[in-house]
Each structure stands twice: as C-alpha cells, then as structure tokens.
Amino acid sequence: MYHLMNQNNEQKNTYVKKQITLALLELLKEKPLADISISELTQKAQIGRVSFYRNYQTKEDILREESDRLLKEWGKLYEENPTSSLGTLFPSLFDFYREHKEFYTILYHAGMTSILQETILSTTQITSEMSNLEAYMKSFWAYGIYGWMIEWIKRGMPESGEELTRLFILAEHAPEMHQDQ
C-alpha cells in the first residue's frame, strides 16, 4: 500500500480503475451484473466505495470504459503499424477482439452487448451534416459488423481475423452468388 502513496494521482486513479475492472470481470464470471453490489465489487477490488463513485456512476460505466479503452488501444496499434492498410483493417480488428476474447465473452454472457454496439457505432461518426445515403451506409456497416461480432462471440470466436474477414467478404457477395444459381 505504501507504494501507492508515492505515485501521483493519475497513476493512483489508473490503478484503482484497473482493480475495479478486474474485480467486476471476475465477479461477472460467477453471477449476473444485477446481482453484484457496489460493496461486493469494492471489497473484491480492495478499494473504498468513495474510489468507485469518484470514477463511475454505475457498474455498466466500467464495462463501457473498458470497451472504449480496448478500441482505442487497437486504433493506436493499427495506426502505428507501418503495414496497416484498408486490406488489413478488418483482420487486424477481429484479431484484436479475439485476443481479448475473455472480456467480450463476459460482456456477451452478462447481456451487455449493447456496450459493444455503442463502441462500434461511435466509430462511424455519423453526423446530421452527412447525406442520408452516407449516414445510412455507415449505419448499415456498423450494425452489420455488430451482428457479425455477436454471432462470432456466441460461437466461441473460432475463426482468426483473416478467416472471419474472408467469410465477411463471401457474405457480402452471397446475393450475387445466389442470383447465378
């Protein structure tokens, strides 16, 4: 505990948030979110209730923040990779989700996939200034990817990012394939 006193407030806060997140994820393996009290969560995280309320208003906020943090982490890695291109976008994203399979599986089983949906939708940056077509297309892709992700998580995420992208491309051309038959 002494080492915490020597750290600045930002480091302490980062530590507290990490402890809360890890504790919540552990508890979600055992019981539904609604059955987890703030007292139980803070006790498991070994932090005070005040620390929880200083950082979060609800338990859902913890999961939302972690989902956002992970997407930002992927975005940074993707941008810093010199081999990144439009062709590597989806495989890279799917591989990243798969690397964090435990988090997304817990989210799924906790019935909190709306957080994943919010995170995916936030990347589209749909604005009222966009044409209807552009907004509808971005929305179509975002919800399609969300549905794809949920089904993939439900099935245990067996495919690699590359394999999942190939399936995604096949599905995109499926109507054309059926017209030929």
State the pLDDT at residue 15. Answer: 93
The position carrying tokens 């995420």 is: 157
- 49 and 66 housed in the same domain: no
- 80 and 145 housed in the same domain: yes
- 72 and 48 housed in the same domain: no
Secondary structure of 29-95 in HEC code, one letter for each residue: CCCCHHHCCHHHHHHHHCCCHHHHHHHCCCHHHHHHHHHHHHHHHHHHHHHHCCCCCHHHHHHHHHH
- 47 and 108 housed in the same domain: no
- How many domains, the chain? 2
Residue range 2-20, pLDDT digits in tens: 455 556 788 888 999 999 9
pLDDT classification of 181: cutoffs 50, 70, 90: very low
The values of phi and psi at residue 70, to 5°, are -65, -45
Q: 135 and 126 in contact (C-beta within 8 Å)?
A: yes
Count of residues in the chain: 181
Residue range 53-100, pLDDT digits in tens: 999 999 999 999 999 999 999 989 888 888 877 788 889 999 999 999
Q: What is the pTM of this model?
A: 0.82
Residue range 105-149, pLDDT digits in tens: 999 999 999 999 998 888 888 999 999 999 999 999 999 999 999
State the pLDDT at residue 115. Answer: 94
> What CATH number corresponds to the domain at position 48?
1.10.10
- 122 and 176 housed in the same domain: yes
Question: Of the residues 17, 39, 56, which one is the last residue of a structural domain?
Answer: 56
- 24 and 95 housed in the same domain: no
Rounded to the nearest 5 degrees, what angle is found at the Cα of 126, between the Cα atoms of 160 and 21? 55
- 71 and 42 housed in the same domain: no
Which residue range is the domain that position 20 belongs to?
2-56
Please choose, from the candidates 100, 120, 107, the residue with its C-alpha nearest in 3D space to the C-alpha of residue 25: 107
